[in-house]
Amino acid sequence: MRTRPLLGLAALVATGVLLAGCAQRGGGEPAASEAGEISWPEKPVTLLVAFDPGGSSDIGARLLADALEEELDATVVVENKPGAGGQVGYTALADAEPDGYTFGLTTIPGVIVSALDESRGATYTPESFAPTALQVTDPTAIAVAPDSPYETLQDLIDAAEENPDSITASTTGIGSQDHFGLLLLNEAAGVDIRPVHFADGAAQATTAFLGGNVDVLVGNVGDVKQLADNGSARVLAILNEERSPFLPDVPTAAEDGYDVELGSARGYAFPADTPDEIVTKLSDAIGAVMADEEFISSMEDLGLQPTYLDSEEYSAFWTERTDTLAELVDLIREEG
């Protein structure tokens, strides 16, 4: 049986037993058949992705959407709504009718931090969503160009010390997991590698990196693995407790003496007040898809680490992360 590990979001956020939390769910009754089974879905379902096409978040969501079409015997239409580090898409999800026909990809910490940081002006809160299932945990990686003079993470840190504020690094937006990763690495190493924010997602950040517009790519393992495989990037470190099975030769930051751990948790949610029966049915369908070894193999081939949580477990995860991420919002304001 496949285990379901949880990765820490940062060194300041301890990974541990999921706290019991109330699911942000509840609402009207869905249509039911004579046999007592709910008839949802009876028409196409829209899956909102708050980032540009082509990044690992989008690719993982599209892979799941294809599998769900067969599992639910329904059409699942992926709609990209990038902008403002995911905030445009999350706003659309929160504002959607809670009738079960719109759900969305939700990336933690981004969806929570954008709601907690008052300077972002979000019109939603963490309670605006009905967490449905977790699909992926994806550690943060630090990469440079293959011809970069930096052979190791320590080389990069030493250069940043010698030339303050001269090295730039990509992020996928203010408050994104890679933004936090960069800030925490800066803090641990006592340097100032400057963030350059690409708020429409990993595809935009990667394009800028490949074009030489930033010195360092801070991204998920799922984003950098292909670049490493085809020789377009040299990965210096993984911000995780253990080495990634997808990049086993790359050391963790802790191995170089920097105790920084941070990753992205990607799952799915409906708008709040979506009927519990629909939330549970989609959660179970995602669970069935992720019990399929062929689907898991497809995820792993893309560098995506399968991590399934059902709706109750994912809701508890949201509650715990909301409490802990509230403590990190000030870090964005002070150092972002």
pLDDT, tens digit, 9 for 90 and up, residues 215-224 = 999 998 988 9
Q: Please report the pLDDT score of residue 334 as a whole number.
A: 65
Q: Which residue range(s) make up the domain with 292? A: 45-138+263-335
Q: Please report the pLDDT score of residue 230 as a whole number.
A: 94
Token pair of 296 as six digits = 């898991």
Do 249 and 166 fall into the same domain? Answer: yes
Amino acid occupying residue 121 = G
Report the length, in residues, of the chain: 336
Residue 3 covered by a domain = no
CATH code of the domain containing 196: 3.40.190.10
Q: Please report the pLDDT score of residue 5 as a whole number.
A: 35
Residue 66 covered by a domain = yes
Final residue of a domain: which of 231, 256, 281? 256
Residue 19 covered by a domain = no
Q: Please report the pLDDT score of residue 6 as a whole number.
A: 33
Residue 171 covered by a domain = yes
3-state secondary structure of 211: coil
Q: How many CA atoms lie within 13 A of 193 on its CB side?
A: 30
Residue 26 covered by a domain = no
3-state secondary structure of 308: strand
Do 120 and 149 fall into the same domain? Answer: no
Please state the pTM of the whole predicted model. 0.76
Tally of CB atoms within 10 A around 290: 21
User: Look-up: residue for tokens 């993982």?
Assistant: 60
Do 233 and 274 fall into the same domain? Answer: no
Q: Please report the pLDDT score of residue 145 as a whole number.
A: 97
Sorted by sequence, the CB contacts under 8 Å of residue 4 that are 6+ apart come out as 307, 308, 309
Amino acid occupying residue 26 = G
Final residue of a domain: which of 256, 291, 312? 256
Could you give the number of structural domains in the chain?
Answer: 2
Final residue of a domain: which of 218, 236, 256? 256
Do 200 and 277 fall into the same domain? Answer: no
The mean pLDDT of the chain is 87
Do 85 and 129 fall into the same domain? Answer: yes
Do 274 and 234 fall into the same domain? Answer: no
Residues of the chain with pLDDT under 50: 1-28, 31-35
Do 202 and 297 fall into the same domain? Answer: no
Q: Please report the pLDDT score of residue 126 as a whole number.
A: 93
Q: Please report the pLDDT score of residue 36 as a whole number.
A: 52
**CB distance 160 to 251 below 8 Å:** no
Q: Which tens digits make up the pLDDT trace of 289-317?
A: 999 999 999 999 988 999 999 999 999 99
Q: Please report the pLDDT score of residue 9 as a whole number.
A: 38
Q: Please report the pLDDT score of residue 124 as a whole number.
A: 97
CA 213 to chain centre: 24
Do 144 and 241 fall into the same domain? Answer: yes
Distance between CA 262 and CA 1 in Å, rounded?
Answer: 26
Q: Which of 209, 144, 132 is nearest to 172 (CA)?
A: 209
Residue 83 covered by a domain = yes
Residue 21 covered by a domain = no
Q: Please report the pLDDT score of residue 335 as a whole number.
A: 59
Do 130 and 203 fall into the same domain? Answer: no
Do 129 and 277 fall into the same domain? Answer: yes
Q: Which of 280, 270, 336, 260 is nearest to 7 (CA)?
A: 260
- Residue 160 φ/ψ, nearest 5 degrees: -65, -30
**CB distance 25 to 283 below 8 Å:** no
Residue 235 covered by a domain = yes
Distance between CA 244 and CA 221 in Å, rounded?
Answer: 8
Q: Please report the pLDDT score of residue 38 as a whole number.
A: 84
CA 171 to chain centre: 13
Do 121 and 221 fall into the same domain? Answer: no
Q: Please report the pLDDT score of residue 25 as a whole number.
A: 39
DSSP 231: T
CATH code of the domain containing 310: 3.40.190.150
The per-residue DSSP string of 70-106 comes to: HHHTS-EEEEE---GGGHHHHHHHHHS-SSSSEEEEE
Is the N-terminal amide bond of 41 cis, ω within 30° of 0? yes
Do 157 and 226 fall into the same domain? Answer: yes
